[in-house]
Amino acid sequence: MVCIEKIYSVSALVGNGTCNANCSFCAGKYLRPQAKENPLYYKNLEAAIKLSARYGGWSLSLTSSGEPSCDPDALTKALEVYKKCAQEGAYFPNVNLFTNGIDFGAKDFCKSYLPIWKELGLTNIAVSIHSVDEKEQAKIYRVNNYPKLEAIAENIKNQGIGVRATLLLRKNGVDNSKKYEESIHTLIDRGIDNITSWPVGNPNGTRNEYTPGRFGIFGIKRWLNKNAKLCHGHSWGGGVYDYHGNILRITDYVTRHDPKKDYVRQLVVFQDGTVAYSWIKEGALCMK
């Protein structure tokens, strides 16, 4: 039997599952029935944070089965749990909020909530980007308008929080090295210089109609190896690169839990209170 040596991070779903977009390929929609007030959730969130910290964890990611910013009170409550943990020694240098970015195009929203969330420990907001063209981004999210990327970045930075991009690799979108390079340069020009990418796929890690071709993904990885300097590789695949002083990261959307490995990529806290060693619960349960 293999003993766990490292639990790198915690990913927690927060909020009531509502969303201000209507993507045709939403990865979280199947989890929305779980998005109900559950006292066990906050107890197990605290336990997961402390467990990961004990095993060298360095990152907390807040996401949702919808759009987390649509339920700001729940997001505040989750961050209050984290702050309590941090004060007791379970501190993470990276506390990230994953979002479609729509609400952060509004200055008033950012002024109302970001100072509170920063005080509770939020360090970065990661905006999901399917296209650096805002009109295309609006079509993919199926909304009338999408905010200017530079406005989103400025609104977040003005409140003292870092801004990141999750540049999603998607068939007929960013699906080859040329489109990837162009998108990277556009994001950097618009003030976003910390960029993570992974291929769109099913929640269980399998491919679907939106997943880019393997040759295209290979080309993107080859471009990174040729044009950027590898800072460190991930045990589960991919790695972090230095690209002219900008951070580029490529990884997998999900990693299946392997009980034979001595590390866990992330503990996932689901809204029904379940904590699992990966996004696929079966065979990966940690606590309920």
- The proportion of the chain whose per-residue pLDDT surpasses 90, expressed as a percent, equals 78
Sheet with strand 194-199: strands edge to edge = 229-233, 239-243, 246-250, 194-199, 162-169, 124-129, 94-99, 59-63, 9-13, 267-269, 275-276, 285-287
Average pLDDT over the chain reads 93
Residue 205 has pLDDT above 80, yes or no: no
Is residue 276 within 8 Å of 286, Cβ to Cβ? yes
Residue-wise pLDDT tens digits, 101-131: 999 999 999 999 999 999 999 999 999 999 9
Whether residue 85 is found in the same domain as residue 181 = no
Based on the domain organization, do 168 and 210 belong to the same domain? Answer: yes
Q: What is the pTM of this model?
A: 0.94
**Residue 209 CB neighbours (<10 A):** 8
Kindly tell me if the per-residue pLDDT of 148 is higher than 70.
yes
Question: In this predicted structure, what is the pLDDT of residue 179?
Answer: 98
Pairwise pLDDT comparison (10 vs 27), residue with the higher score? 10
Q: Tell me whether residue 108 is in a domain.
A: no
Q: Are residues 65 and 179 in the same domain?
A: no
Same domain, 5 and 83: yes
What pLDDT score does 24 carry?
A: 83
* 145 and 59 in a common domain: no
pLDDT at 1 over 70: no
In 10 A of CB 24, how many CB atoms?
A: 9
pLDDT value of residue 280? 84
Answer for the pair 209, 166: CB distance below 8 angstroms, yes or no.
no
- Cα dihedral 99, 252, 265, 33, rounded to 10, equals 50
62 plus 157 within the same structural domain: no
Task: State how many domains the chain has.
Answer: 2
Q: What is the pLDDT of residue 4?
A: 86
CATH code (residue 127): 3.30.750
Does residue 272 come out as left (phi exceeding 0), alpha (psi in the -120 to 50 range) or beta? alpha
Per-residue pLDDT averaged across 46-62, rounded? 97
**Domain that includes residue 166, residue range:** 119-200+206-251
Q: Is the pLDDT of residue 25 over 90?
A: no
Query: Residue 247 pLDDT > 80, yes or no?
Result: yes
* pLDDT score at 79: 98
- List, for residues 28-41, the tens digit of each pLDDT value: 777 887 878 788 99
pLDDT at 130 (0 to 100)? 96
% of the chain beyond a pLDDT of 70? 99
110 assigned to some structural domain: no
The answer to whether residues 137 and 193 belong to one domain is yes
